[in-house]
Amino acid sequence: MTHATTHAIRFHKTGGPEVLVWEEVNVGKPGQGEARIRHTAVGLNFVDIYNRSGVYPASLPSGLGSEGAGVVEEVGPGVTDLKPGDRVAYGASPLGAYSEARLIPADRLLKLPDGVDDKTAAAMMLKGLTTQYLIRQTYRVKAGDTILLHAAAGGVGLILSQWAKHLGATVIGTVSSDEKAKLAKAHGCDHVIIYTHEDFVKRVDEITGGKKVPVVYDSVGKDTFLKSLDCLAPLGVAALFGASSGAVEPLNLGLLAQKGSLYVTRPTLFTYAAKRENLVAMANELFDVVKSGAVKIEVRQTYALKDAAKAHADLAARKTTGSTVLTV
């Protein structure tokens, strides 16, 4: 099939899940440096909620989604390293993954190795590349470290906890329920704190014998961030990489001095994967840990792509665990 009419989830105004609409779209021919791909699976991510609700403004009307897997149908001028039929995936792209087919800058695509199927790829690219930069670049986790990870049973959470464990770290994870605690334990967390009932600062202090941790990976934001700083050892790194509970209030930088010369960063995958060479190196590390079995990717929920609104509602309501794939 060539550039026939296909379908996509799009939104014409920002708001709740109800603004997502299933529409006919005409995907044209790929331009300079572009490829047209047909999706076989699409990844769901919390960032899709920020885009849909306007926390990260998109130009409207807009497509949605930055993670997917599929097959190349056609390449535009200047694309030499891809050809029709290639299996590809991506996790750091312009919006538009919630679609049967799309145009995409070819330099965002990664050829999928045998041994990584399409659904697995759609479940791991954005979350796994994020994990790569967080634990291998933002703060390089090493054997013997004890680290703190919030939302440990979530999409990024289950990947990061396994990968950090594989690097030899002791992983302390926080979750909101007993069921999620079991899941986090089965995926590399040595200690799990139910932060909705327990004081995680106190528990981290007990678990580490008062030493605290050199890094906290905090994607929850508003509800956790200030307390996360209290879990850090002197010179510790607070990697605030999300805002699932809302945005963190402006911070008095003097607090970083008082709490032990701390570092705070607000990193994004967009920055770390901006250059093609970095994206490829990060993806190769991800493929290696997945192919070796050190990090197991489980698709824990699937929804039909046209039911994306339901998937968004469940993700926002903390009903999902691990990765979620939208099937095309």
Q: By the criterion CB under 6 A, which residues form the site for ligand NAP?
A: 45-47, 126-127, 130, 151, 153-157, 175-176, 180, 219-220, 223, 241-245, 267-269, 315-316, 318, 320
Q: Which amino acid, residue 316?
A: A
Under DSSP, the state recorded for 250 is P
Beta bridge partners of residue 34, listed in sequence order: 105
State in angstroms the smallest separation of the CB of 179 from ligand NAP. Answer: 10
Pick the closer one to ligand NAP by CB: 68 or 242: 242
Specify whether the CB–CB gap between 295 and 162 falls below 8 A.
yes
Specify whether the CB–CB gap between 35 and 72 falls below 8 A.
yes
Pick the closer one to ligand NAP by CB: 63 or 322: 322
Whole-Å CA distances, 318 to 18, 155, 156, 175, 312: 18, 11, 14, 10, 10
Pick the closer one to ligand NAP by CB: 259 or 300: 300
Whole-Å CA distances, 304 to 205, 299, 328: 44, 14, 6
* Angle subtended at Cα 290 by Cα 281 and Cα 159, rounded to the nearest 5 degrees: 95
Under DSSP, the state recorded for 81 is S
Q: How far apart are CA 285 and CA 167, in angstroms?
A: 13
Specify whether the CB–CB gap between 12 and 19 falls below 8 A.
yes
Q: Which amino acid, residue 98?
A: Y
State in angstroms the smallest separation of the CB of 129 from ligand NAP. Answer: 8
Pick the closer one to ligand NAP by CB: 194 or 233: 194
State in angstroms the smallest separation of the CB of 151 from ligand NAP. Answer: 4
State in angstroms the smallest separation of the CB of 219 from ligand NAP. Answer: 3
State in angstroms the smallest separation of the CB of 291 from ligand NAP. Answer: 22
State both tokens at 169.
């770290």
Pick the closer one to ligand NAP by CB: 197 or 254: 197
Pick the closer one to ligand NAP by CB: 46 or 287: 46
Specify whether the CB–CB gap between 65 and 98 falls below 8 A.
yes
State in angstroms the smallest separation of the CB of 131 from ligand NAP. Answer: 9
Specify whether the CB–CB gap between 32 and 77 falls below 8 A.
yes
Tokens 């209030």: give the residue.
Answer: 249
State in angstroms the smallest separation of the CB of 205 from ligand NAP. Answer: 21
Pick the closer one to ligand NAP by CB: 38 or 302: 302
